[in-house]
Amino acid sequence: MLLEKLDSDIPSARVAAMDLFIHCINEYDARDMSSYLVPLWNLLSKQ
């Protein structure tokens, strides 16, 4: 769901997804988030 929102054409959906992602990193250990970082980076680097 997070990646789908980041891939959205609606800017507010992207902002909401980034806010959620930042909150998740703050709540969970960074190493648990590592599996999401590569797809997220690939998605953001396309834009």
Count of domains forming the chain = 1
5-31 tens-digit pLDDT: 666 777 787 788 778 877 877 777 666
Please check the confidence at residue 43 and state whether its pLDDT lies above 60.
yes
Q: What is the pLDDT of residue 2?
A: 62
What local confidence, expressed as pLDDT, does residue 21 receive? 77
C-alpha separations of 20 from 15, 17, 34 in Å: 9, 5, 15
Q: What is the domain extent for residue 38?
A: 2-46
Contact 43, 7 (CB under 8 A): yes
